[in-house]
Amino acid sequence: MPSTSDPLVAAGNTIYLIITSLVVSFIFVWVMRKKIVRLDYIVSSLKGILCGILFWTATILLFPEISEMQEYIIIGASTIIAAVTFISSAKNITHLATPASIWMTGASAFLIKLMFSDLAVGILLVGFSLFDIYDVFRGPLKHLAQTSHDKGVSPLLVKAGSIEVGLGDLLFYSLSTALAYSVGGIPLAVLALTTIKVGMYITLKLLEKRPMLPGLPIPVLLSACVTFLASLIQASG
């Protein structure tokens, strides 16, 4: 993996990931319209596999020196997590599917932060926040949101009362907090988390006047601004 401390490389990574997300979204919408496969089973399967892999990867990274027996135990636990995630998502067992979704987004954010520099993560957050505006109002996500009753979409959402939050939103909320922690430790992470909650509240209030809004721009950009200001103060001090 190239050094992500270079602004051009970081921007290139962001553009690449945005294009990839856009292509996958268009494919997702096309498959949903054609109804050629049970999309909910495919998404649930991929979600289960990802959760299992993330558990194995994160555990190995956190505890690199383990015995062969412990590694077998981790593999077994990863397999169980993958199976439980698949079944709970496919059957819409909320009390199991929701923790699995939260784990998946948090672990993904953890691994992304390990792989990329603070600069790269900051550009990634800003880039996807701006992309989210297009995706919701003009892009494929607009169609997906209009068909949120479809079973194929449900594994990609977390429900909190009457509000549905996409897994992508949770991923970037977690990544914003991870960036703040990397820059300023626990105090800045708590401040960033508070800022995200304020941004979510503002978004929810705006949703009272509009049927649909992007979930990233206000919370993530507010958090990114706070983190950026903290990094400037830290650098000048």
pLDDT, tens only, 173-215: 999 999 999 999 999 999 999 999 999 999 999 988 887 888 9
Spatial distance between the Cα atoms of 75 and 69, rounded to a whole number of angstroms = 10
Nearest to 115 by CA among 103, 124, 126, 104: 124
pLDDT per residue, tens digit, the chain (237 aa), is 456 788 888 999 899 999 999 998 888 888 877 776 677 788 899 999 999 999 999 899 888 888 889 999 999 999 999 999 999 988 888 888 888 899 899 999 999 998 899 999 999 999 999 999 998 888 887 776 665 555 667 778 888 777 778 899 999 999 999 999 999 999 999 999 999 999 999 999 998 888 788 899 999 999 999 999 998 888 776
Spatial distance between the Cα atoms of 136 and 170, rounded to a whole number of angstroms = 16
Q: What interhelical angle do 94-115 and 167-206 show, nearest 10?
A: 110
Are 192 and 177 spatial neighbours (Cβ–Cβ below 8 Å)?
yes
Nearest to 119 by CA among 23, 236, 216, 2: 2
Distances (CA, A) of 99 to 67, 92, 180, 187: 29, 12, 23, 26
Spatial distance between the Cα atoms of 213 and 117, rounded to a whole number of angstroms = 30
Spatial distance between the Cα atoms of 2 and 12, rounded to a whole number of angstroms = 11
DSSP secondary-structure letter at 157? E
Spatial distance between the Cα atoms of 215 and 115, rounded to a whole number of angstroms = 25
Instruction: Output the pTM of the full model.
Output: 0.87
